[in-house]
Amino acid sequence: MNDLVHRTRRFVRDVVLPSEPRPGGYLSDAERGRLQEAAKEHGVFAPHVPKEYGGAGLTIADWSPVFQEAGYSPIGPAALNCMAPDEGNMYLLENVATDAQKERFLRPLAEGRVRSCFAMTEPHPGAGSDPDALTTTATRVDGGWRIDGTKRFISGAEGAAFAIVMARTDDTGATMLLVDTANPGFRVGGQVHAIDRAIAGGHPYVHFDGCVVADDAVLGAVGEGFRYAQVRLGPARLTHCMRWLGLARRALDIALDRVEHRRIFGSAMKDLGLAQDLVARSVIDIETSDAIITKTANALATDPRAGSALSSVAKVHCSEAVFAVIDRAMQLCGGDGLSDALPLASFMNEVRPFRVYDGSTETHKWAIARRASRARAKAVASGTERRQDEVVEP
């Protein structure tokens, strides 16, 4: 494990950083392919993928240090094939797909031969923060299903080989279906120009117009879509925390190098108290993020339900923390931090959307508070705890 972390660090420093596009630029599919071949040669490719599918076979409890090293560059995860949305889709396929589906969809994805996308969000008033608002439907037809609906913000859809689609299959339930993008009923629509650049294929609209798939396109069981979404989302939001924490470390390194060398008002910036405050708060944000990620990853490995609940806490904390670290680094670097002279402003564009996707900060805080209230009320009702708020007249 430590050896893999070390090799990933060297690979990212020596091969990936020199290949980064200019701030604001995209990684082309050709360049991504070249970097993935290099990652294979360096033995750092697909750390999270089971060995039988060509990866290093690490379990989730061991992903964080490697993903953080990959995330030191915005394109590092793509080079290692552990970027969103493919990494989350690999995890879902590994845990839910049939053997035949794994051969057809997981193997080429794990080997980096194709890309994929995950299609959940819809134009208003459809699914967004509230998945219950899902409007895309999958209707039974002879020998399969017909999917109708529109999705948007579907990362990686342009150029993807397949999509995992969430569709309503009856009044209460949803089902996940695997759709080949060559299907005549699948169409990539207008591109949504979000502020980030690192995910290949953008975040376009996707249309399902009478998109017919066979029965074997159902991922797992009919009606279990919302449950599988949680299977995917708990780990997927945590791996985002891991990768973006790596980028926050890079931002802090840039800031540390700057305060070391920049002199103002007769002293090195590193000796000015207000600058030290910015640095110290970033170190604290990084360490607390690292700790909550480790705790959550261990929980996901041993008790997925508890881990999934904790992943909300980790997601809120880390998404705010990495944003703050990058923001402080920009502040410490002055005008350079706000221009494309340094990559910090582009890092900010990469991490800002993380406060909205995979459940917004507000959605998670709402869920965290409700969960806390429920757990406390249950403990008091069952008699294992006594109310602590009762007062008596002195």
The reply on whether position 159 binds ligand FAD by CB under 6 A is: no
Other beta carbons less than 10 A from residue 368's beta carbon: 16
The reply on whether position 272 binds ligand FAD by CB under 6 A is: no
Q: Which of residues 116, 155, 312, 319 is near ligand FAD by CB under 6 A?
A: 155
Residue type, position 124, single letter:
H
Q: What residue ranges in the chain does DSSP mark as E strands?
A: 116-119, 137-141, 144-151, 162-168, 174-180, 186-188, 206-214, 218-219, 263-264, 267-268
What is the smallest separation between the CB atom of 129 and ligand FAD, expressed in angstroms? 3
Q: How do 206-214 and 218-219 pair as beta strands?
A: unpaired
The reply on whether position 363 binds ligand FAD by CB under 6 A is: yes
Cα angle for residues 278, 283, 285 (degrees, 5° grid): 95
The reply on whether position 136 binds ligand FAD by CB under 6 A is: no
The C-alpha atoms of residue 28 and residue 255 are separated, in whole angstroms, by 29
| Binding map of ligand FAD across residues 174-193, x = CB under 6 A, - = no contact | --------------------
> For ligand FAD, which stretch binds (CB under 6 A), given 10-18, 150-158, 309-317, 340-348?
150-158
Q: Which of 35, 198, 59, 211 is nearest to 112 (CA)?
A: 35
Q: Please classify residue 161 by burial: count the beta carbons closer than 10 Å to its beta carbon, then call 0-12 exposed, 13-18 middle and 19+ buried.
A: middle
The reply on whether position 153 binds ligand FAD by CB under 6 A is: yes
Query: Of the two residues 11 and 186, which places its CB atom closer to ligand FAD in the complex?
Result: 186
At 141, is the secondary structure helix, strand, or coil? strand
The reply on whether position 196 binds ligand FAD by CB under 6 A is: yes
Q: How do 263-264 and 218-219 pair as beta strands?
A: unpaired
What is the smallest separation between the CB atom of 114 and ligand FAD, expressed in angstroms? 16
Number of residues that bind ligand FAD (CB under 6 A): 20
> For ligand FAD, which stretch binds (CB under 6 A), given 53-61, 66-74, 114-122, 298-306?
114-122
What is the smallest separation between the CB atom of 195 and ligand FAD, expressed in angstroms? 8
> For ligand FAD, which stretch binds (CB under 6 A), given 102-110, 225-233, 234-242, 353-361?
353-361
The reply on whether position 119 binds ligand FAD by CB under 6 A is: yes
The C-alpha atoms of residue 299 and residue 319 are separated, in whole angstroms, by 19
Q: Which of residues 67, 118, 145, 186 is near ligand FAD by CB under 6 A?
A: 118
How far is Cα of residue 197 from the mean position of the Cα atoms in its chain?
Answer: 14
**Which residues in this chain contact ligand FAD in the complex, by CB under 6 A?**
85, 118-121, 128-129, 153-155, 194, 196, 203, 353, 356-357, 360, 362-363, 366
